Structure 1
Amino acid sequence: MASKRPLRALISTATCPLRPAQRPQPSLVRTSACAFSTTTPSRSPEYESEASERPRWQQTPARMVAPFRTRPLPKGPVFRVNEDPRRLDDAYIRMLGPGGDKVLSDEVKWLAVTHKSFDHGRRGFNDRLAFLGRRIVSLQTSHALLNSPQVEAWPKDDAGRPLPDEFGRRPFLHAALGGLPGLTQEAEDRVLDKSRLAPIAERYGLDKVTRWKPKQADNLLGSGLEAVSSTSLYAIIGAVALERGGEVANKITQDKILAPLGFTFPE
């Protein structure tokens, strides 16, 4: 009887090329392409609810609040910050004039009067706006000192020429250089001292609307009220420069800050 092995080997050899090929494994390119699908990804409920919350300046972001308090409540009276938009608008109208509540957007208006000590800075604070505003006020103060009359002027004769000194020398005098002796760092520091800027900020009501956390609620002056209100004054100037331009910020600096300090500017 003939063996069936050669026949089986022949059938196995003939059917081998007809076997279905194995499915290739998904490549990295295919996997990467799926990540850039145009299908709208589903969002979890916590992200959907975050979009409907109030603005950041009005409420602390929910995801930045700890689940429980780690420190005990401070002893003594609690300092309440202003939360009334009308009171804030009144302060801007006092400082910027009629329509001053419309000069800045709502978010920037609150940001300019928010100190970094308020709510641990979670709602934003005015440090960067104050940095820009301080540079603008410093520049305008330098211009004002250059144009201010000097107390000690070089003596002149009847013809307006400078008199010689004890060595017979005549100094060179020019109208553009008349205020140069008064342009010193000490003079600018005296003009922009916080003890002089704080009453101006108080005149506009910025001390009542600035949001901050004093160390002692019953001793605001000792907790740094002058520095905080002066920072809000600078921050408003910086915010006006960003949203309304440098020319408007310079004019407000001259009329609302330097003019109350005794400087005069040409129309």
Structure 2
Amino acid sequence: MASLLPTRAVRSVACSACRSFTPSAPAKLALPLVRRNYSTPAEEGPADYIDKPRWSYTPPRTKAPFSLHTDSKRPYYPTNNDPEKLDRFYTRFLGPGGEKVLSDEVKWLAVTHKSFDQGRRGFNDRLAFLGKRIVMLQSSLALVQSPVNTQAATPDPFGREPFTHPALEGLPNLSLPTQKYLTNKDHLAKLAQDYQLEEVLRWSPRKPNNLRSSGIALVLAHTMYALVGAISLEKGNKVANQVARERILEPLGFKLA
């Protein structure tokens, strides 16, 4: 029996054509630069759209070549397109002159959910993210500055007295369950309905005949945060903090100092 060769001695035999082939470096693909806009895609339309405001039409280049809802039995859900009706809402929410606080484009963007027109006209997700941070901060400050509910403390068996300081008196109020309860989405949605936000809200519910199961409470709370974020964007944090405290937190039951 022939002896087996060591593994290092076993070499594959290649044809002359393969031996003469020298692999070259992979060719670099010239990929076009793609810009992605996630909130307000700027599309250049034909001349017919030059004089129209951005919120009033769908950019032509974002339209599908065919309908995405062919033979759909879903009923039509109307949305507001009247600028005067939108101005009346901002007057209710911000008080007299509230319709002049924001620019026209941001006023529409703040009340536009991403479900409306499949997000092709811009939507308020980023504004809501900013506005929620502001409302949560102001709610924490309001809880800390609220009067403490004094209860009879359990006497210490060793006669020790806990450290007290005026700056720490409100800390017992600052609990996560209390903050979550007062800023619950259902409470925010009820407040939004008091301001009649639903009349100017631009969204596309999954079930137009059943807005509750479509998530109207979450969308209204989301939009309330977006309104605060829009004010912070254009008027600064000082005005946004004041709006959050006076127009949202105080009606929700927060005791402001």
What interval of TM-score do these two structures reach, taking the shorter chain for normalisation?
Answer: 0.7 to 0.9
Query: Closer, same or farther in 2 for the Cα pair 1:171/1:103, shift >3 Å?
Result: same
Is residue 118 from structure 1 mapped to residue 109 from structure 2 by the alignment? no
2:195 corresponds to 1:204 = yes
Q: Which residue of 1 aligns with 2:163?
A: 172
Measure the CA separation in 2 of the matches of 1:152 and 1:72. Answer: 64
Q: After the TM superposition, which of the residue ranges 130-139 and 67-76 deviates more from structure 2?
A: 67-76
Q: How many residues align?
A: 214
Question: What is the TM-score normalised by the length of structure 1?
Answer: 0.75
After superposition, give the CA deviation of every residue in 1:168-207 in whole Å (9 maximum; x if it has no partner): 1111112211111221222211111101101111111111
Distance 1:47 1:74 in 2: 28
Q: Which residue of 1 aligns with 2:224?
A: 233
Q: 1:78 aligns with which of 70, 76, 79?
A: 76
Alignment partner of 1:261 out of 249, 252, 256: 252
TM-score normalised by the chain length of structure 2: 0.78
5+ long unaligned stretches in structure 2: 1-43
Of Structure 1 and Structure 2, the greater helix share is in 1
Contact 2:140 2:174 in 1 (8 A): yes
- Offset, 1:166: 2.1
Amino acid at match of 1:177: L
SS at 1:57's partner residue? Answer: helix
Give the aligned residue type for 1:105: S
CA distance in 2 between partners of 1:240 and 1:189 (Å):
23
Quick one: structure 1 residues 73 and 123, their matched pair in 2 at CA, closer, same or farther if it must change by over 3 Å? farther
Among 195, 220, 224, the residue aligned to 2:215: 224
- State how far apart, in whole Å, the 1-side matches of 2:123 and 2:73 are: 25
Q: What is the letter of the counterpart of residue 129 of structure 2?
A: F
Match of 2:54, SS state, is coil
- Aligned position for 1:109: 107
State the Cα distance separating 1:107 from its structure 2 match: 0.3
Counterpart amino acid of residue 244 in structure 1: K
The 8 Å contact of residues 45 and 60 in structure 2, kept in 1 or not, is answered as no
The 3 A distance-change label for structure 1 pair 70 and 244 is closer
> Where in structure 1 are there 5+ consecutive unaligned residues?
1-45, 156-162
CA offsets 1:47-104 (integer angstroms, 9 cap, x no match): 6526625232110001111121144243142111111111111110000010100000
RMSD: 1.8
